[in-house]
Amino acid sequence: MTHVWAAVAAALVIQVQGILDCTDGELARWRGQTGPTGIYLDRLGHYVTDGSLAVGVAVHADGGLGSIGGWTTVGLATGFLVLLTKAETDLVHASRAQSGRPPIADTVEIAVPHADLVRRLRRAARSLPLNRALLAMEMTFLAIVASIVDAARGDLAAMRVLDVALLVIAGIVVVGHLLAVVSSARLR
């Protein structure tokens, strides 16, 4: 039952982080203080939170900090892929700036891939948004569900299934996102 409370505590911390994130952003806009430092710190916070949660799920799947093993390695790989997906997005803006191109808004027209196959895959992915499982609130909700199942069963099987599922989803998302970026007008 301790594992369930750990997952619930993580979800509550993520809720507080989300509230503070929204509040400080609105306060900065209201005060007219939306500079690069605030944006940088906001993104860094999201990187750390989303990447760390994948590792936290994996440590939980291993049985806690006292028994780190192979499941944690799966979580570290997932955390890396989560960070890589976020980097793929931010690198669009960095690449445009370094090549002297103007900034772009991430509009639907710009983001639509030119390749027909990639466009169809993107449309299919939109109907089944697995990438949401890699976001903080959704991941903690999944961890709560897995913890409850594990508490009822008396083992860690559900958390381990979640650990592997997150790795598979992260792998699909990182490849799909890369294809979508390079086949769209974002880098042109």
Average pLDDT, the chain: 84
Average pLDDT of span 69-87: 93
pLDDT tens per residue across span 22-75: 787 777 778 777 778 878 888 888 899 989 999 999 998 988 777 788 899 999
| Nearest by Cα to 173 from 112, 130, 118 | 130
CB atoms within 10 A of CB 24: 14
Q: Which residues contact 56 (CB under 8 A, 6 or more apart)?
A: 10, 75, 143
CATH class of 2-187: mainly alpha
| Whole-number Cα distances in Å, 52 to 79, 159, 183 | 6, 16, 30
- Give me the phi and psi of 69, to 5 degrees please: -155, -140
Confidence of residue 102 (pLDDT cuts 50, 70, 90): confident
Domains of the chain, residue spans: 2-187
Indicate yes or no: pTM above 0.75.
yes
Residue with tokens 């979640």: 162
Answer whether residue 116 shows pLDDT above 70: no
Confidence of residue 2 (pLDDT cuts 50, 70, 90): low
Contact in structure between 88 and 177 (CB atoms under 8 Å): yes
How far is residue 181's CA from residue 17's CA, in Å, rounded to a whole number? Answer: 29
Distance of CA 123 to the CA centre of its chain: 20
